[in-house]
Structure 1
Amino acid sequence: MHPDIDHANECACSTTGHVFSIVTPAWGIPVLLPFLKAVCHMTQEVMAGPSHRHLYCSADCHPSKGINHVLYKLNSLVWPHIHKILVVIEPLLIDEDYYACVGGHEVISNLTKSGWPLTHMVSTICLDIDCADEYVCNTTAHAFSVVTPALGIPMLLPFLKAICHSQKLQQAHHAGVHIVQQIAIMMGCTALPHLCGLVSCVAHGLMDEQQKVQTVTALATAALAEVAAPYGIKSSNEVLWPLWLSIHQHRRKGLAAFLKAIGFIIPLMDPEYALYYMKEVMVILIHKFQMSDEEMKKIVLKVIKQCAATNGVTAQYIKQDILPDFFKLFWVCRMALDRRNHCQMDAKSWGL
């Protein structure tokens, strides 16, 4: 490996990528792959010194920038090796470091611009979609969300529907729903014109036999409802009844994803329907005030805030039916001391 790749001097590290982009056409892609693996490993290295962490957290000098220089220089020469490059780069998409995620996103985006047909790009990513390793399926779903803006949701919908309804490939079924969730997160409100198609792809997953498929479907539904707000209630009608059954059937951690989905759908309803569903859901939320699970408590707090801010909910109802049990059982010292919960306690957002 080139000694300057791990150099603390930003100039040395930045120019090394340009050097590799010059010599790689002569060396060939097989020589490049160990370099890719090395720099991606450095971005994930926990034991790196402070100077290295500072260097890797610089947007302009992140090692992925060197990879981008190489890919730009090689252009069509990378086509036969795209799958191997994706295997190396995809883990960056779920890295805890923000700049590593951005770098991985840029590399895959540049691959879509290299002239390689996008349909071939999709088929290449699909090679790992039925992998038994959930980590691989997770990174594959993130890679799909990156190429979706270039390919377009309408072209991808038949493919997503086939995967999500697959009976032979159970792991692909789970991965397909996860792809829809990541597309909603990545594309935001631009997914609104295709909301009906995306919801129909995942709706049946709420009644799936596998708990993990039901959970990821509820999370995908929540993501779609969030980006569609304040529209999208007609598209959500297909999933409303299965979600309503699920919040009455599931317990403990399995309930959190379904409450999250309901919390995003209720504000989309007309005031008279929203008020009815809100009061029914509030019974379950109040019952969960005494749960010890921290993640569940955060979701309960978020859903309470969403329900309280719904049109048609009066301040009198909140003060009489919610706040007494809320301060008695839920808003204990540990919750109050967590600064992440403070933004949920704005009186205006509660309609008070």
Structure 2
Amino acid sequence: MTVQLLGPAQVRALAERHGVTPTKRLGQNFVIDANTIRRIVAAAGVRGDDRVLEVGPGLGSLTLGLLEVADDVTVVELDPGLASALPGTIAEQAPGRSVRVIQGDAVKVTAAEWAAARGGASGAPGMDAVAHAADSAALTAVDDGPTAVVANLPYNVAVPIMLHLLETFPSIHRVLVMVQSEVADRVAAAPGSKIYGVPSVKAAWYGPWRLAGSVGKHVFWPAPNVTSGLLAGDIRPVADRPGDEALRLSTFRAVDAAFAQRRKTLRQSLGAIAGGPKSAETLLRAAEVEPGLRAEQLGLDEFVAIGRALATQERH
């Protein structure tokens, strides 16, 4: 059966039917242009055999676009009303298709919730199902978790959601998110740039990122006050990442400390976690990183070396 995407009139009608008034607090800006939806799905490179995870489906505009290409779509929706309304919209606009719904916060979603949603009918999983799935949560995340993340992310929590999903689901191969242009620029920034920072380095742990286009304000209802951009990530398999979970944690600690005082040299900024500037210099020498450099001058490899030296220092 043909999937009917939503246009401006249908989006507003659905909002009225379900008593939805878009709120800035929840970052609700609904896409009302079908061509933009198809552009996002194409940029994501979604295939028919992908297990797609969408965050914040809202009234279902992007969900329907994903269902044009993929048979397996699971969404995470914070708003209980929107979460309960979505299956009905899918039944009307895409007869014969279905979507699994996890009602909850994407920055806290677990592998167990993913498994529970896939074990039952469309709708939010019950607590019994979540508990039953918990024992196999780790296996689920690796073998049966999402392979692609495609989302129109709330601008104020976009980076925390992305990093949480990448940490929680090692199965993810590709990410395509629509975010505030400034956020997209920061994540994709290279060392040496003024906008290069914590999101740039932490995202790079999982793979390379690139800008995949801009999105005009007129395709949203209501129109946001900021411009939007598409951000794409090609996610490395776990075996090809810089190190294990312990190294990731020590590296991210170093990243946070270094950029917390980005105008200072690493000798000074890393003193807070190394036991003072002198110990930080010893740490940096061990990592073969010049203590007089600043955070924005380092790439992922240098931060990983610092993280490894920090872990060694803490063991002794």
In which range does the TM-score fall when normalised by the shorter chain? under 0.3
Larger Rg: 1
If each structure's helix is expressed as a fraction of its own residues, which one has the higher value?
1
Q: Given the two structures, how large is their TM-score scaled by the length of structure 2?
A: 0.26
If each structure's strand is expressed as a fraction of its own residues, which one has the higher value?
2
